[in-house]
Structure 1
Amino acid sequence: MELDAELSALAAQEDLPADLVRRLLQYPGARRTVALLRRDLTDDLIAEIIDLGSVRTLAANSSVPSQIRARFAEHPEPAVRCAVAASVRDEPLGLLARLAADPDPSVRSFLAMNEHLPAELLALLASDSEASVRSSVIQRWRDVPDDVRRMLLTDADPGIRSGSVRASVPPADLLPGLLADPATRAAAVAHAVPTPELAADPDSDVREAVAAHPDLPAGLRDLLAADQDISVRNAIAARSDTPPTLREQIVATLEPDGPVAEWTLSFLRDTHTCPRAAPPPPRRTRQQAESLLAQAGL
């Protein structure tokens, strides 16, 4: 293990004496680990981390006292406010509402991901003037009230409409319009009945969505198995109801143009292999930690 990685692993070690943690602050990589992960930071250590310039990382540590994180919400750098907005609680009361009105859209986007955000503020962000903020709401909010869902499904931005269809089941009365909309047609296929017209759509994304439909009739499955688009054929090969012989025939026709494409296709078919997770680093004794710190000149 390289020295940087060893020091970062030591910085995350539980029950590490405070004097060793303080020495680690002089090493940038280890300091970032301390600032982000440690749950036992004292006021003195927090002040030193701030003085050393790692405020943004510290702001993302949810174990830092709420009164300190509330101060970070006023920081002049948007990146610091973003780090706070993603996980801060409403302490003091009104802090989340203040962040929801932040002039920087990136802060409001990070706030939309905050699990402590109440529904009324999520609804406010769902109507934000910036599409990036509304997109963050879609990614975060699953239990969307019907009026908010309808608003997002009919948003002026095609990306918001498409993301909304993928994130939640659209009301039945909106489905025809979503299928007619080029921006949402492919995403809406999952909520429609697969038809020969959809299976013959000129848009390969639509045909791929049909190929992945859970209620795809066998006739359309066999038709799409010979589709000109490699992703459509791969989607058929990935189906659990595709006969083994047909699957083998399809896979033989898949000729990706590089290792990334090959991995992507195999991932959908669940034939990829992931590397084993690295074992956790061993816990160091004080003597071993002192030796490592000395090696780094700390």
Structure 2
Amino acid sequence: MNLDAELCVLAVQDDLPADLVRRLLQHPVARRTAALVRRDLTAESIEEVIRLGSVRSLAANAHVPATVRARLAEHPKPEVRAAVAANVADDPPGLLARLADDPDPLVRAFLAMNELLPAELLAVLAEDPEPSVRANVVTYGRHAPEPVRRALLMDSDPEIRSQAASVYSPPTDLLPALLADPETRAVAARHVAPSAELAGDPDPSVRRAVAAHPHLSAELRDVLASDVDLFVRNTIAARPDTPAILRESLVAGLGTDDPLTEWFLSFQRNTRTCPPRVAAPPRLTREQAEELLARAGL
């Protein structure tokens, strides 16, 4: 581990004495790390971080006092206001509404990531003229009220409609429109009974959705087992109700020279294991921390 990495590890160590934290703040990389995650920054340390120019990292720290975050929400740089917007509470009252009205779309897009947003502000952001804001409402507002979900499922932007259909369970009355829309047809196919028409759809993503449907009939399963698309056949092989003989036959024909494709195929069949978790670095004693700071000239 290089010296910068060692200092960053020390910067997040719990119960680090305040005088050592202040020394760490003189190192730019360690300062950004400490400003971003430490829960125990003193008022003096906060002002030092601001003076030294790591204000954006500080703005993203949900553990600094509300008064500091409210102050940073008025910062002239939109990236600083955006960092605040992502997880700030409505303290003082009206702060979230002001951020929802920020002239910079970056700030509003980050605000859409905020899990503390009330339903009425989610609804405002779901109608934002900037697509990136509405897209973040879909990604982070998974429990948005039904009117918000319906609006995003029918959004004018095809990417947002597709994203919304993947995240939200579509209301039954919208399924015909979603099936008729090329951008949402594959997702909508997950929520309707499998049919020969959908199993023969020219879009392979629709056929993959049918292949994964929990109520797929044996007849349609056997049809899709011969599909020209590698991922459709792999989806059939991954089904728990696929007969072992058919599964073995399918897997034998799924060979590919592309390592990335092979990873996706094996991941879907749950035959790929994750690497073991890396052990946490050891905590440093004060003497060891002093030695590290001395090596860094701090």
Instruction: Output the TM-score relative to the length of structure 1.
Output: 0.96
Deviation (angstroms), 1:82: 1.3
Distance 1:2 1:245 in 2: 53
Distance 1:166 1:132 in 2: 17
Spell out, residue by residue over 1:44-90, the C-alpha distance to the aligned partner (whole angstroms, 9 max, x if none). Answer: 10111111111111111001111111111111222111110010001
Gaps of 5+ in 2: none
Q: How many residues of Structure 1 are paired with residues of Structure 2 in the alignment?
A: 298
Deviation (angstroms), 1:145: 2.9
Spell out, residue by residue over 1:223-276, the C-alpha distance to the aligned partner (whole angstroms, 9 max, x if none). Answer: 111211111111112211122222222122223342222212211111112111
Distance 2:3 2:245 in 1: 52
Residue 46 of structure 2 is aligned to residue 26 of structure 1: no
1:237-276 matched pairs, under 5 angstroms = 237-276=237-276
Letter in 1 for 2:127: S
Residue 2 of structure 2 is aligned to residue 2 of structure 1: yes
Give me the CA root mean square deviation. Answer: 1.3
Residue 213 of structure 2 is aligned to residue 213 of structure 1: yes
| Secondary structure of residue in 1 paired with 2:16 | coil
Residue 84 of structure 2 is aligned to residue 84 of structure 1: yes
Deviation (angstroms), 1:27: 1.9
Between stretches 135-144 and 88-97, larger displacement belongs to: 135-144
Query: In structure 1, what is the equivalent of residue 227 of structure 2?
Result: 227
Query: In structure 2, what is the equivalent of residue 36 of structure 1?
Result: 36
Letter in 1 for 2:151: M
Distance 2:67 2:201 in 1: 56
Query: In structure 1, what is the equivalent of residue 192 of structure 2?
Result: 192
Distance 1:60 1:103 in 2: 20
Mapped contact 2:119–2:145 kept (Cα < 8 A)? no
Spell out, residue by residue over 1:171-210, the C-alpha distance to the aligned partner (whole angstroms, 9 max, x if none). Answer: 2221111111111101111111110110110001111111
Residue 122 of structure 2 is aligned to residue 122 of structure 1: yes
Query: In structure 2, what is the equivalent of residue 182 of structure 1?
Result: 182
Letter in 1 for 2:16: L
Query: In structure 1, what is the equivalent of residue 133 of structure 2?
Result: 133
Query: What's the % identity of the aligned pairs?
Result: 65
Query: In structure 1, what is the equivalent of residue 289 of structure 2?
Result: 289
Distance 1:76 1:259 in 2: 47
Letter in 1 for 2:50: I
Instruction: Output the TM-score relative to the length of structure 2.
Output: 0.96
Letter in 2 for 1:123: A
Distance 1:237 1:80 in 2: 48
Letter in 1 for 2:158: P
Letter in 2 for 1:272: R
Query: In structure 2, what is the equivalent of residue 47 of structure 1?
Result: 47
Query: In structure 2, what is the equivalent of residue 173 of structure 1?
Result: 173
Deviation (angstroms), 1:5: 2.0
Letter in 1 for 2:217: P
Letter in 2 for 1:206: V
Distance 1:257 1:176 in 2: 40
Letter in 2 for 1:293: L
Gaps of 5+ in 1: none
Distance 1:38 1:273 in 2: 33
List structure 1 segments (4+ residues) > 6 angstroms apart after TM superposition.
Answer: none
Query: In structure 2, what is the equivalent of residue 149 of structure 1?
Result: 149
Distance 2:216 2:58 in 1: 50
Distance 2:103 2:253 in 1: 52
Distance 2:143 2:290 in 1: 51
Letter in 2 for 1:208: R
Distance 2:144 2:18 in 1: 45
Spell out, residue by residue over 1:89-129, the C-alpha distance to the aligned partner (whole angstroms, 9 max, x if none). Answer: 01111100000011111211111111111100001111111
| Secondary structure of residue in 2 paired with 1:136 | helix
